[in-house]
A and B are shown apart, each in its own frame.
Chain A
Amino acid sequence: MTVTVERDDNIKIIAMDGQLDVSSSDATREEVIKLLDGKPTIISLEKVSYVSSSGLRALLMIAKTAKARKIKIIYAAAIDEVVDVLQMTGFIKMLRCVKTVDDAIAELS
């Protein structure tokens, strides 16, 4: 899993790329949380090909941390297979999830 900051002005866009599974979730969670600096943040899941339960926990912990720090956070552009797991577990309505990064930018602008 790689984590890249794709934009960092009035909005921060963090892109994840890879599988969010048991081997990568803890490190990814820590890396993303370190990047939360107060700006409204979009986390692009466009290139995340797989999310297991440990990956879901990472997404939840990132969102909980952001909420505690009063940082607005939106997950964007998850592929259908990932959306399926998010739906099954209720994460899709618990987290703020939108279809595209552009939708997220529009919401935060």
Chain B
Amino acid sequence: MLKNVAFPAKRELLPEMLKKITDEIDKHVKDSKWLNRLKVCSEEILINIIDYSGSDKVYITCEFLDAEKTLRFEFADEGTPYNPLEEKSEVDIDADIDERGIGGLGIFLYTTMMDKMEYRYANGKNHLIAIKKFSGKEAMAVAE
């Protein structure tokens, strides 16, 4: 479990942050597709904090609850109050190559992949919480 682990909010540390997260997920999730999806989701959220929040640190929580069936991510930062979930993603997955813009993919990916996203600003920090519930054979190795 990663519980509120602080990292300097620097791009060069992103691989280390993602490794800590994927090592944790790897203990619980055995479906390679979901391992990959959760890494993509984490990268999108972390890079937004690193590049745009103005925070010196990012705080990462990655825990499995509910008899290991529910993944809960929490990403916190001390930057400018900002709710990314208020940004409307304008991704049109049916658009053709000429119509397709290059923006909005990050938020589209993590809001599509995760079951539930929440934002709150508390104690001087942005908190972005992402929940994914796994059902039986979908992805989980039941905790030993």
Contacts and interface: CB of A to CB of B under 8 A. Distances in A.
Given A60-B100, A63-B97, A53 B36 contact: no
Contacts of B108: 53, 89
A64 B39 contact: no
A88 B109 contact: yes
A82 B32 CA distance: 11
Contacts of B43: 21-22, 52-53
B106 A53 contact: yes
Interface in A25-82: 50-54, 56-57, 60-61, 63-64, 67, 80-82
B96 interface: yes
B129 interface: no
A109 B108 CA distance: 37
B33 A88 contact: no
A21 B11 CA distance: 12
A18 B14 CA distance: 16
Contact of A80 (B32, B95, B106): B32
Given A64-B97, A90-B94, A94-B96, A57 B37 contact: no
A47 B102 CA distance: 24
A53 B91 CA distance: 12
A82 B14 CA distance: 20
Q: Is the interface of B mostly helix, strand, loop or mixed?
A: helix
B68 interface: no
A84 B105 contact: no
Given A52-B40, A80-B33, A89-B91, A95 B97 contact: yes
A52 B11 contact: no
Nearest to B50: A22
A23 interface: yes
B132 to A, nearest CB: 14
24 contacts: A21-B43, A22-B11, A22-B14, A22-B43, A23-B14, A23-B15, A51-B40, A52-B44, A53-B40, A53-B106, A53-B108, A53-B109, A60-B102, A82-B36, A84-B36, A84-B37, A85-B36, A85-B37, A88-B93, A89-B109, A90-B93, A90-B95, A94-B97, A95-B97
Interface of B: 11, 14-15, 32-33, 35-37, 39-40, 43-44, 47, 91-98, 100, 102, 105-106, 108-109, 112-113
